[in-house]
Amino acid sequence: MDSNNMNNQNYQQPYQQQPYQQQPYQQQAQYQQQPAYNNFYQTPQIPEEYKPISMWGYFGYELLFAIPFIGFILLIVMSFAPANKNVKNFARSYFCLLIIIVVLFIILAATGALASLAYM
């Protein structure tokens, strides 16, 4: 019974509010990011290795790579040499497309050759 009375006394005490203690303001270093461009009509400064290729640039590279022997040599050179990553990635994707086409052509030629041997 004594323990019940003590518990009731704890509940009956008015809630005492602690005074609010404000933490001192710690000033942090302010880092302001410079905008990519200050003027609306000025283009952002992009490093030379990430400059985008225009639509006509892609078209020109496709025409260049389509030349039978010289285009293949230039395709291999462009896959490894240029400083622009967009040209390099485009040349690599074009080279992968050529490899897929050659493999499909070999498969179709082999199945056609095997089919003609079956009818002899």
Report mean pLDDT in 10-residue bins for the chain, 120 residues.
Answer: 54 60 62 61 79 93 94 93 91 95 91 74
pLDDT at 17: 64
Domain ranges (residues) in the chain? 53-120
pTM above 0.85, yes or no: no
pLDDT at 9: 55
- Number of helices (H), then strands (E), belonging to the chain: the values are 4, 0
pLDDT at 82: 83
pLDDT at 48: 84
